[in-house]
Chains A and B, each alone.
Chain A
């Protein structure tokens, strides 16, 4: 049985976030080889892994739902510009709302329900105790823009990319738990521009190929890939915006606390074509797991040790691991003997 959303835990201050045994078991472990290198690791986003797998549904709602929604509310309250949408992206916002409402109510009828009578829609989210009557396409009937409204009710960050000239543009999104990039800064950029800081991948042709794939994604055939980094403490909001608040945590890792303090942060990224606007939806569904919890699976710990040990220096620096990478390798070494 999929674990029902737990009471709210925190991703800041006292960091009460924890994973149940079930959550550990279903964690999307990203290392498929002993050496990690960038690749065009895209596959079709179809169910795999059976019931309760994180790949069972279009969007995975798990035990951290309430905690993540509470965290997101704090971030947006503090800085509303973490959600933005340019004028020409209004229709894409409705596409997004529809995609989410339809898939959540189909996949999790016990939590969400949607009734539609032409343009008259009724939405219920029992987890957050929300009920809303509104007219589809009429923003004045919702408390806020459709992207903002629905983004606050779904786990994951969201970018809506406008597609033109065979390229994608970062023209709308709600990004409250990024791995160190800023939507406000990247707004309006093209695919290759917003990937500007990524080392090694451009010259390997990875982005050119990925872009050609993405621009050809048709309606109803979503794709997915995994990305990963490490985070100190179970902090969701590792944004540049808040870096002055969390940067110092990178100096607090020691040989004694590394297993509890360092988290593997995995992003399940989903790319889906929006039918009315032709925009591409990019979902970043983030999972956090401590090294200690990874070590409960010896195969994972061993594999991760190898991947960390052979990680190229440019990637170590780019991902911000320079100060404590060696501590992670040393800790994991005991599982690879």
Chain B
């Protein structure tokens, strides 16, 4: 069994339970794929005069959610969403809040987008990641490999076998990775599931 102890590397994000901010004037809820029950209940708790629910999913399934009055707006890809971001944030103020749900790289990519719009970290709330998927930053070729769940994983750019560390960059929404067998080509540790 893996221990549940938080990583010793302090750049690894920790996720605190979300509390709905009752002063907000504009709440935006964004989910990767379907909205979880937990997120639905947060959505219902928000008494905000303006609130929006969004799902970003490549899936064709219906995203209607019981109990959430308006059907969430659906986007196929993050890049589609990016186009509508300026009009979404236009009415937002220093009082507004964003709530994110999904995998860790998904949430941090959106985090970067909202930061670029002028939001500050305290306005952006993240659920604990829904999966152990990580994005890897290869320090040798600088490419980012998505959807990795194991350490010792091949880089999608240069093909090297990478060790996945816990050193995290918010800007890259990815973890620091380096060739696992650079010192000794025959010394490749066993593949392990990431936590």
Contacts and interface: CB of A to CB of B under 8 A. Distances in A.
Asked if chains A and B are in direct contact (CB within 8 A), the reply is yes
Interface of A: 81, 182, 184-189, 192-197, 199, 202, 240-244, 247-248, 250-251, 323
Nearest to B180: A247
25 contacts: A182-B139, A184-B139, A185-B139, A185-B167, A185-B176, A187-B171, A188-B170, A189-B170, A192-B10, A192-B11, A193-B10, A193-B11, A196-B10, A196-B167, A202-B10, A240-B139, A243-B139, A244-B182, A247-B183, A248-B182, A248-B183, A248-B185, A250-B183, A251-B183, A251-B184
B173 to A, nearest CB: 12
Given A199-B8, A243-B140, A188 B178 contact: no
Which 7 pairs show the lowest CB-CB distances between chains A and B? A196-B11, A247-B182, A240-B139, A188-B171, A247-B183, A193-B11, A196-B10
A189 to B, nearest CB: 7
A316 B20 CA distance: 45
B91 to A, nearest CB: 26
A242 to B, nearest CB: 8
Given A184-B142, A192-B11, A251-B184, 18 more contacts: A185-B137, A185-B139, A185-B172, A192-B10, A193-B10, A193-B169, A196-B10, A196-B11, A196-B167, A199-B8, A240-B139, A241-B140, A243-B179, A244-B160, A248-B182, A248-B183, A248-B184, A250-B183
Interface of B: 8-12, 137, 139-140, 142, 160, 165-172, 176, 178-179, 182-185
B109 to A, nearest CB: 14
Nearest to B171: A188
A84 to B, nearest CB: 12
Contacts, number: 70
Contacts of B184: 248, 251
Contact of A189 (B11, B160, B166): B11
A240 B10 contact: no
Given A185-B139, A188-B170, A189-B171, A243 B165 contact: no
A161 B93 CA distance: 29
A240 B140 contact: yes
Nearest to A79: B142
Given A240-B139, A243-B139, A247-B179, A186 B160 contact: no
Contacts of A188: 169-171
Contacts of B166: 196
Contacts of A184: 139, 142
Nearest to A193: B11
A194 B182 CA distance: 23
A185 B182 contact: no
Contact of B169 (A185, A242, A323): A185
A147 B137 CA distance: 26
B182 A243 contact: yes
A240 B142 contact: no
Contacts of B182: 243-244, 247-248
Nearest to A207: B10
A57 B133 CA distance: 50
A195 B137 CA distance: 17
A192 B9 CA distance: 10
Centre residue among A188, A196, A243, A247 by max chain B CB count within 10 A: A196
Contacts of B8: 199
A256 B140 CA distance: 32
Contacts of A251: 183-184
Contact of A244 (B10, B140, B142, B171): B140
Contacts of A241: 139-140
Contact of A323 (B11, B140, B168, B183): B183
